[in-house]
Amino acid sequence: MKFNCIVNEGIEFEFDDKETQSWDITPMGDQQFHVLNGHQAAKAKVLEADFDAKSITVEVNGNQYQVQIKDAYDQLVKKLGLSVTASSKMKDLKAPMPGLVLDVVVEVGQQINKGDSLLILEAMKMENVIKSAGEGIVKSILVGKGESVDKGEVLLEME
């Protein structure tokens, strides 16, 4: 599958996932990896991953990169001149994966906008900042710091 990537909102390149199959990627703990591609080695650390927005922030050999990834569907929508717009009204927030709630960064009654951080969820030893996919007001918070959650569990109710 081919992906289009935009790095730091300026550099654009395309790659095929088959290219990465030859890479030797070794986990080094706490979201850090040693990557060997041919004769080139790099130390990489995942700083933030937003799977809904298809973006990731990584540090490679001390340099920080914000990468926006567009898959075949995103590229087709752009080619057809369409735009994908979701409802701007946020519905209840459900856990995208099982994990441990490290922090809840919103309060009941708080107005949130698209992209606002809502909570931090640890899953597979990675901290994931869960952000708002739309606008709304926090009606109730159903989880607290230190609680384990299952995939699909309602974390926040919105109004």
- The pLDDT mean for the chain works out to 86
For the cut 70, the answer to whether the pLDDT of residue 19 exceeds it is: yes
Supply the range of the domain harboring residue 64. Answer: 2-77
The answer to whether the CB of 41 falls within 8 A of the CB of 103 is no
Res. 10 pLDDT band, cuts 50 70 90:
confident
Whether residues 55 and 101 share a domain: the answer is no
- CATH number of the domain at 131, please: 2.40.50.100
Which pLDDT belongs to residue 83? 60
Whether residue 136 contacts residue 129, with contact meaning beta carbons closer than 8 Å, is answered with: no
Residue 88 is predicted with a pLDDT of 61
Band the pLDDT of 40: cuts 50, 70, 90.
Answer: very high
Name the domain count of the chain. 2
Q: Do 8 and 49 have their domain in common?
A: yes
pLDDT at 119: 92
**In this predicted model, what pLDDT tens digit does every residue of 124-147 receive, in sequence order?**
888 888 888 888 899 999 999 999
Half-sphere CA count of 53, side-chain side, radius 13 A? 21
Q: What is the tens place of the pLDDT at every residue in 65-115?
A: 999 888 877 777 777 877 655 446 778 888 888 999 999 999 999 999 888
Cα–chain center distance at 148: 20
Q: What percent of the chain has pLDDT over 70?
A: 96
Q: Does residue 87 lie in a domain region?
A: no
Report yes or no: 56 and 40 within 8 Å, Cβ to Cβ.
no
- The pLDDT, as a whole number, for residue 84 is 54
Residue 84 lies in a domain: no
pTM of model > 0.95: no
- Domain co-membership, 137 together with 73: no
* Boundary-marking domain end, from 26, 43, 77: 77
